[in-house]
Amino acid sequence: MQFRNPSGHAAIVVAAAALLAVTSGMALPAAPAGAVSRSPDGVWRVDGYGTVLSVERGRLQEYQTTSVSCLKGESAARSGGGSTSPRYLTDEGDAFTVRSGPRPDRASLHVDGSPNYRDLRLVPALPASCAREMPGGPVAAFDVLWQTFEENYPFFAAKGIDWDAVRDRHRPRIHAGTTDTELFAVFEEMLAPLHDAHVALLAGDTGTFARSRPGTVIPGQTLEDRIKAYIQERDLDGRPLREFGQGRIGYADLPGGQGYLRLSAFGGYTKANTFAANSAELDRALDAILTPARTARMKGLIIDLRINGGGSDSLGLRLAARLTDRPHFAYAKRARNDPADPARFTRPQPLYVHPAAGRPRYPGPVTVLTSGTTFSAGETFTQALIDRPGRTVRIGEPTQGVFSDALERRLPGGWTLLLPNEEFLTRSGHTFDGPGIPPHLREPVFTDEEFAHHRDSAFDRAVEVLRDPR
């Protein structure tokens, strides 16, 4: 668990080690009637997330725990809020709230920009391991990395990975004299078969590990620049997009009364890059795009997410709220919640799309363009439209298949590990982790053949679908 502002980013860009998906959008539930007013000071274990929090005298300290380790995580100072719901701020500017529950031994945690909250349970004291200094060295780093995945990663069975066998094969290679380069190479061998773009290892000068699903690439600025230029030249007949959010949001009117909305991320819209600032910029963009005059004559909207590195799930929900006049189910979130049983999760928290009050909306026909470079928050937004009341057609290729927030963990020696520990469920309880969300209509996306023949088949199919209302 980490308190990184969800407006950060979502897919992990190798060069910058950048886009980490954490989410946004829903306020904490109100305290039940009759709840006792009290300060949430104490030691709290978070359901799921392998975390213990110490809250005392205006300070909060995170401890990242496994059965073999306890490492200090982030710390934060109180920055406001009421006596029963104090707010805290980290040195990096990330904000969150701890709220007392209806019982003395219950509380909840809400990270600014996250659509869900995390349940806290009062415990007598910190684990005994937190009182001891964690040994360093390559053996300790190996044990903590392996155990962190063992207790938190939900997808070993789905990916056909025998994690015990991975330990048995690689741990004998690690000893006190193992160099950083050798250790990094072992970790890379262990993690690469997961083919999980929300798994990463940030090892300073030694290197950065991140992989996308086979046959896909991780979005980056070079790819973004190339595709944006191609779309403007080919699909928009040389007309530039009207851009917002530092170029991450673009819009153009199309012939025939259709609109084209392109988002390359759900975050990074402002230099401040806080959830509040990014939300305001997204609202500004959508107010300018979805004007009453334009939506009255609009015959369909193409939303292009084919190169989308992710970001804040709540910004995705904020966009979805502009595309409906009726509330609808978005998804339910749950986290793995038993170190010994990968099949046990926290209680799913259902999240809904509610029409944006007092803001211009477009509830008409929509096509959504996706591909293997649609990552994380781009995928949760796509999932949030599955039950949309208006006509919604997905076109292109399956999304990347990574939905969970990225759980950040420190390793002995200072390296940082990232992994998923959550599932995003459909109304029927299905997840798209791994294979991604499939399109309704399959079309090639930015292949060599498409470029060679000056085609954009997914875009053309979207235009055709919106032109024919059947």
pLDDT at site 25 = 31
How confident is the chain (470 residues) per 10-residue block, as mean pLDDT? Answer: 45 37 34 55 96 95 97 95 93 90 94 90 96 93 98 96 98 98 98 98 98 94 97 97 98 96 97 92 98 96 98 96 98 96 96 97 98 98 97 98 96 97 97 97 98 98 89
Q: Which amino acid would we find at residue 86?
A: P
Closest Cα to residue 420, out of 195, 206, 247? Answer: 195
Question: Using an 8 Å Cβ cutoff, are 361 and 355 in contact?
Answer: yes
Would you give the end-to-end CA distance of the chain in angstroms?
Answer: 46
E strand map for 104-207:
106-111, 118-123, 200-202
Closest Cα to residue 410, out of 208, 202, 209? Answer: 202
Strands 392-396 and 366-370: parallel
pLDDT at site 92 = 84
Closest Cα to residue 410, out of 50, 64, 175? Answer: 64
CA distance 170 to 189: 9
Question: Using an 8 Å Cβ cutoff, are 410 and 16 in contact?
Answer: no
- Mutual orientation of helices 313-320 and 275-289 as an angle, nearest 10°? 30
E strand map for 305-365:
328-335, 349-353
Q: Which amino acid would we find at residue 176?
A: A
Question: Using an 8 Å Cβ cutoff, are 423 and 407 in contact?
Answer: no
Question: In which residue are the tokens 């044990």 written?
Answer: 143
SS3 letters across 25-56 = CCCCCCCCCCCCCCCCCEEEEECCCCEEEEEE
